[in-house]
């Protein structure tokens, strides 16, 4: 688990949301992975620390990855690449000339090589497009390393196996024990890592809950199984014996209008929580997941939970392009 480079500010702090906890009658804590850094902020950098180490070990000089025009992962990759002495190529999905705002604005500031593709190209041929970029680089004597969407693969998931160890170390130093860990699921790697970490470090005794922000719960259960299978080549024999692919707990029903699309109710929830707790969620991942958690607690789905740890995976830059969708009242 230590075969990585160090970029993120770790460990990230854990704080209790006092007002929301009192309102819901259950202790809600946030693991502030939105504070892993400024340019690299969010959950992706935990995964990138392992991916980039592998890229360097393979003699690569350029990271190639993909995402939407407001991809947190792409922005984090561009920043992390610079810190590691590498270049980056970002393959971004958009069907129109994008406004230079949010994550895309930061991508431009960081000087990333940005390639636009359409939604259809992204769905059907993004892997082929990235492989062609590898070939293009080879002609110039360079070597590319492809990182999938969200760094959600076997090597990337190691970052969130290690995350669970970090949570355990916090528990050992405090009088708090978390019975439930909650996270947004958008590409599967973060959930996969936490799921495996729960098996390895906590004997599978904690409830690990995901809220999918796109596709379906069943889609992600299969995706997470694939990532767990990929990760096995990086695990030692002792850890391999502990890891299981069953008992995945992913709650569907909070995709809303779709990936990266926000309902007014979701935006109002983000605004309300910001005013109550001084914590800002993002509209793509944490806003939907925390909105879902809030609803599900009220429905009784977490009646056996006493201390819930919600993983704040970042995404603040992605909130700015949504500014005109908020209905602020004077």
> What one-character-per-residue DSSP string does 264-283 give?
HHHHHHHHHHHHHHS----T
What tokens appear for 175 in the block? Answer: 């009088």
> Catalytic: 262?
no
d(Cα 176, Cα 170) in Å, to the nearest integer? 8
Count of H helices and E strands in the chain?
A: 11, 10
Active-site option among 41, 71, 152, 305: 71
207-212 β-sheet, strand order = 14-16, 27-32, 307-312, 180-185, 207-212, 249-251
Q: Which letter, b or e, does each residue of 152-180 get, where b requires 16 or more Cβ atoms within 10 Å of its Cβ? A: bbbbbbbbbbbbbebbbebbeeeeeebeb
SS3 category, 251: strand
Q: In sequence order, which residues have a C-beta less than 8 Å from that of residue 241 and are 6 or more positions away? A: none
User: Residue 182's beta-bridge partner residues?
Assistant: 209, 310
The catalytic site residues sit at 71
């Amino acid at each position: 688990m230590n075969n990585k480079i160090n970029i993120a500010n770790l460990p990230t702090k854990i704080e209790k949301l006092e007002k929301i906890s009192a309102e819901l009658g259950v202790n809600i804590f946030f693991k502030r992975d939105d504070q892993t850094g400024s340019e690299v902020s969010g959950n992706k950098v935990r995964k990138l620390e392992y991916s980039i180490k592998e890229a360097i070990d393979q003699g690569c000089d350029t990271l190639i990855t993909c995402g939407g025009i407001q991809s947190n992962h792409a922005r984090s990759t561009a920043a992390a690449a610079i810190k590691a002495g590498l270049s980056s190529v970002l393959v971004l999905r958009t069907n129109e000339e994008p406004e230079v705002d949010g994550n895309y604005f930061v991508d431009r500031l960081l000087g990333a090589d940005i390639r636009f593709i359409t939604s259809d190209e992204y769905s059907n041929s993004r892997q082929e497009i990235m492989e062609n970029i590898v070939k293009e680089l080879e002609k110039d004597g360079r070597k590319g390393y492809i990182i999938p969407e969200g760094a959600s693969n076997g090597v990337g998931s190691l970052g969130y196996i290690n995350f669970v160890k970090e949570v355990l170390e916090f528990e050992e130093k405090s009088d708090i024990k978390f019975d439930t860990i909650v996270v947004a699921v958008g590409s599967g790697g973060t959930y996969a890592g936490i799921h495996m970490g729960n098996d390895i470090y906590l004997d599978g005794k904690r409830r690990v809950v995901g809220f999918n922000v796109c596709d379906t719960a069943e889609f992600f259960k299969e995706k997470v199984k694939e990532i767990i299978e990929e990760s096995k080549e990086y695990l030692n024999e002792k850890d391999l014996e502990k890891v299981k692919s069953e008992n995945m707990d992913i709650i569907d029903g909070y995709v809303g209008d779709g990936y990266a699309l926000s309902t007014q109710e979701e935006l109002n929830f983000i605004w309300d929580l910001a005013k109550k707790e001084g914590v800002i969620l993002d509209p793509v991942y944490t806003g939907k997941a925390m909105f879902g958690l809030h609803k599900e607690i009220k429905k009784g789905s977490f009646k056996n939970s006493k201390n819930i740890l919600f993983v704040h995976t970042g995404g603040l830059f992605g909130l700015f392009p949504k500014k005109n969708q908020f209905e602020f009242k004077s």
